[in-house]
Amino acid sequence: MDCKKLKFLLRQFSNDREWNKFHTLKNLACSISIESSELLEIFQWQDLSSLDIKQNKLKENVSDEVADIMLYLLRFSDLAEIDLEKACLKKIEKNKKKYPVNLSKGNSKKYTDL
């Protein structure tokens, strides 16, 4: 994935529509949450044992919501000047310390309960 290219395309998309005045960090954070909820809504009340994500319509809906989340996240990180790759790599290292293999392997407990 080329995050720089996507950020550029999103900047251009926003500029063309004069939407920058709406793209505050608060509004974008809200949008990330809303789109995440829309992804969750797809699975609400579904029998997960019979849910097949490979069904064309379901996969398309899920893909659209995942893309919405990612695009808002990219736009947010662009405006906040966050390098997503660096932030993710740093967070993985933090999580390795919070969830050492010997304590967390096969265990879904939160790190405070290990």
Q: How confident is the model at residue 54 (pLDDT cuts 50, 70, 90)?
A: confident
| Domains parsed from the chain with CATH numbers | 3-82 (1.10.287.1080), 85-114 (no CATH)
As a whole-number percent, the residues of the chain with pLDDT over 90 amount to 81
pTM score of the predicted model: 0.87
Using H for helix, E for strand and C for coil, what is the string for the chain? Answer: CCHHHHHHHHHHHHHHHCCCCCCCHHHHHHHHHHHHHHHHHHHCCCCCCCCCCCCHHHHHHHHHHHHHHHHHHHHHHHHCCCCHHHHHHHHHHHHHHHCCHHHHCCCCCCHHHC
Q: What is the mean pLDDT of the chain?
A: 93
User: pLDDT at residue 7 above 90?
Assistant: yes
